[in-house]
Amino acid sequence: MAKQRTTNTSDALGQLKWLTPENVGAALKGLPLKVQAALRAAAHLPRGTLTITTPDQRIFKVGGKASGPDAALVLHNWNLPRRAFSSGTIGVAESYMDGDWESPDVTTFLELFVVNNQIGETIAGGTNWFVNTVQRLRHWLNENTRSRSRKNISAHYDLGNAFYREWLDPTMTYSSALFAEGANDLETAQTTKYRALARNIGITRDSKVLEIGCGWGGFAEFAAREIGARVTGLTISREQFDFATERMRKAGLSDKVEIKFQDYRDETGKYDHIASIEMFEAVGEKYWPVFFGKVKECLAPGGSAGMQIITINENSFERYRKRPDFIQRYVFPGGMLPTPEKLKSLGRDFGLDLYRESIFPQDYARTLAEWRERFWGSWDKLKHLGFDSRFKKLWEFYLYYCEAGFRSEYIDVRQVFYRS
């Protein structure tokens, strides 16, 4: 339960004032209209608490009857409510990057509005029709044709291998780890994830394996070295291709692993097994059937495929697909998360039987928290690579935002396994 509160509405600076639906009108007189609207909505918060310090040093607190995140927000000016109302999560992110606001725990602040979804939509739903239209158009222009896919992937993954090497673990794995029993550090947990995927796919010695979206080669190296599989890895990131190719050469695995700079749509080989780790999110909704059709085409009869995919809950999907969010604007242009049901229906449509799945969103929340700490710890080195303070705030918000989504289980991550 939330803490007992009074309805004191004193205007003394620095004195905390609880806002309730009953007293909120009197307490907010004189504040900008967008701020008043945001705080009126927040006063109906059903879960958790939020303490807000305003630019004029007034302190408001809102809270629901049910337990939930205990968050704090410090406004340096009045821009956040206006930008949130206008542009949704993109506005919230840009406001953070511009220094309009801060929080001692940004993840918890964002999580509060995820678990209080209706209030979050009221405040940060992005109500400006022109802004929303521009964002939808921008997302449409990032559609993942063959040529556009390379540009979209390059926007994120070709920041440079040196950038990612500074804060990823030694396996150079940029996807959720699996913190199973005994996997208490990030590197071990990433290997545990690889092992679970390979085991449930059924990869054995000399299996012929296709990996769609091989990244920097972590899974391909694991499957070849630890199991003895023969792996073909596909990537459309030039930086990843160069790194993974050299990685296999140094590991003495060039005879077992071939890295190809190639779009998955151009693959024509037949394979015993197919693996794909957090690549499907970048495919784009229009091309989901194309992806599953290619998996079916490239699997030998009786073959199996395993994918690790981030999904969004069914109830939120329609609104999400109509209104591009911060991730689609700044981090993964052209991307789209599927729902769990969509993964099942796509499998059925292409004769792929989904025979097993495992779900581990809290492992992703932990992975993101560890990445954030490693990113902060590497910032002095990253600055010397040419990244500025605004870029730092963009990446901070990205990691906070995703962690909040997984902690609240608004989104999750799962490994899904199909048989041909």
Q: CA–CA separation, 174 vs 190, rounded Å?
A: 9
State yes or no: is 298 an active-site residue. Answer: no
- Domain assignment of residue 69, given as a range: 16-127
Q: Is position 382 within any domain?
A: no
Q: CA–CA separation, 34 vs 48, rounded Å?
A: 22
Q: CA–CA separation, 328 vs 265, rounded Å?
A: 22
Q: Is position 133 within any domain?
A: no
Same domain, yes or no, for 114 and 159? no
Out of 41, 123, 402, 416, which one is annotated catalytic?
402
* Among 336, 359, 382, residue at a domain's last position: 359
Global pTM value: 0.89
Beta pairing partners, 75: 101
Q: CA–CA separation, 279 vs 264, rounded Å?
A: 11
CATH number at residue 288: 3.40.50.150
Positions in the chain short of pLDDT 50: 1-11, 125-142
* Among 325, 359, 393, residue at a domain's last position: 359
CB of 178 within 8 A of CB of 363?
Answer: yes
Same domain, yes or no, for 344 and 237? yes
User: Which phi and psi (to 5°) does residue 305 adopt?
Assistant: -130, 145
CB of 95 within 8 A of CB of 83?
Answer: yes
Q: Is position 369 within any domain?
A: no
Largest CA distance in the chain: 75
Same domain, yes or no, for 119 and 148? no
129 Cβ neighbours under 8 A, 6+ residues apart: none
- Residue 303 tokens read as 């073959």
pLDDT at 156: 60
Q: CA–CA separation, 194 vs 180, rounded Å?
A: 12
DSSP letter for 264, please: G
**pLDDT tens per residue, range 364-399:** 999 999 999 999 999 999 999 999 999 999 999 999
**pLDDT tens per residue, range 318-376:** 888 877 778 877 887 778 999 999 999 999 999 999 999 999 999 999 999 999 999 99
CB of 69 within 8 A of CB of 48?
Answer: yes
Same domain, yes or no, for 210 and 339? yes
Q: Is position 68 within any domain?
A: yes
Q: CA–CA separation, 56 vs 65, rounded Å?
A: 28
Q: CA–CA separation, 238 vs 150, rounded Å?
A: 9
Same domain, yes or no, for 81 and 150? no
**pLDDT tens per residue, range 240-275:** 999 999 999 999 999 999 999 999 999 999 999 999
Q: Is position 393 within any domain?
A: no
* Among 307, 340, 359, residue at a domain's last position: 359
Same domain, yes or no, for 193 and 324? yes
Q: CA–CA separation, 327 vs 338, rounded Å?
A: 14
CB of 208 within 8 A of CB of 302?
Answer: no
- Residue 380 tokens read as 């002095």
User: Which phi and psi (to 5°) does residue 301 adopt?
Assistant: -55, 130
pLDDT at 1: 37
220 Cβ neighbours under 8 A, 6+ residues apart: 211, 214, 231, 233, 244, 248, 257, 259
Same domain, yes or no, for 118 and 266? no
Q: Is position 408 within any domain?
A: no
Same domain, yes or no, for 150 and 123? no
- Torsion on CA atoms 64, 66, 71, 73, rounded to nearest 10: -10
Same domain, yes or no, for 59 and 115? yes
376 Cβ neighbours under 8 A, 6+ residues apart: none
| Three-state DSSP string of 56-79 | CCCEEEEECCEEEEEEEEEECCCH
